[in-house]
Amino acid sequence: MQRRTFSARFGPHAPLAPPSPLRVSPAGCCAWRDRPVRERTKSNASLPTAIRQVHQVSSARYGSLPLHAVLRSQGRGASRGRIERLMQRHGIRAIMAPPRRVRTSYNRHNLPIAPNLIARDFTARAPNRVWLADITDIPTAEGWLYLAAVMDLFSRKIAGWAMQDHMQVELASAALAIAINQQRPQTRLIHHSDRCVQLTRLSQFSPAGIVASISRKADYNDNLAASNLNSRLNFRLCITCLQRDDSKC
């Protein structure tokens, strides 16, 4: 600290013999002054500029997690904790998201409810034994789009999906039909979803060999795997839009 004070005061014209109260030897002062700058110090000097650029492109929406993903894709090997520290140091903050007015789950209906057959057991012994279904909304420049996805619980891969500008039962039915056509399950299959009216109606006329399973009312954890999938999907869509600099995203 004494060397930094001495160097900051005199700069490159610092005398070889600093004042004695600083307790810095001439050799130590010269060695510190001529020492090359560390790579991490250089990175800390340039990284805030890169963080601020990505933050501005995202309209100040991105926090440390998406910023870390974008910077890593650009070849900047900075940890998330380091990005958080630099953001705090330079006053970079993500804005809070406005309240969402679009609802994809409406469970206040009197339709028959199928039993919950998986009971939070998010494991499967083989492919095409348990499928998880959910609907999510995606904001675009032209308005809201709705994505219905069917995920295989064993492989965690998307068995089928469909996208429309509405979230009627036809949307969920199209995703299930695509999944059946692509995967062609040969054994008894459980189709699990939450209590949204679209998927509940779909469970009433599931194809032969497919048994419907519905989550309990107002229990997010009963369909947690599918909900986590939608969260990751929306995050990746934001990252992709930012990397492509697509104004229509």
Q: Environment class of residue 7 by beta-carbon count within 10 Å: exposed (0-12), middle (13-18) or buried (19+)?
A: middle
Query: Band of the pLDDT at 217, cuts 50, 70, 90?
Result: low
Share of the chain above pLDDT 70, in %: 62
User: What integer is the mean pLDDT of 73-93?
Assistant: 88
- pLDDT tens profile 60-80: 888 888 889 898 888 887 888
Distance CA 36, CA 215 (A): 62
Q: Tell me what pLDDT residue 8 has.
A: 54
Pick 109 or 133 by higher pLDDT: 133
239, pLDDT greater than 50: no
Distance CA 216, CA 113 (A): 9
**Residues near 47 by Cβ (< 8 Å), separated by ≥ 6?**
71, 76, 78, 82, 83, 86
105, pLDDT greater than 80: no
Element (H, E) at 48: helix 39-57
- pLDDT tens profile 29-60: 677 677 776 777 777 778 888 999 998 888 88
Pick 17 or 190 by higher pLDDT: 190
Pick 236 or 192 by higher pLDDT: 192
Count other Cβ atoms within 10 Å, centred on residue 197. Answer: 17
User: What integer is the mean pLDDT of 142-156?
Assistant: 85
Q: Tell me what pLDDT residue 139 has.
A: 75
- Residue-range domain boundaries for the chain: 2-34, 39-90, 130-244
Query: Band of the pLDDT at 205, cuts 50, 70, 90?
Result: low
CA atoms within 13 A on the CB side of 94: 15
* CATH 3.30.420.10, applies to 130-244: yes
**Predicted structure pTM score:** 0.50
Count other Cβ atoms within 10 Å, centred on residue 47. Answer: 18
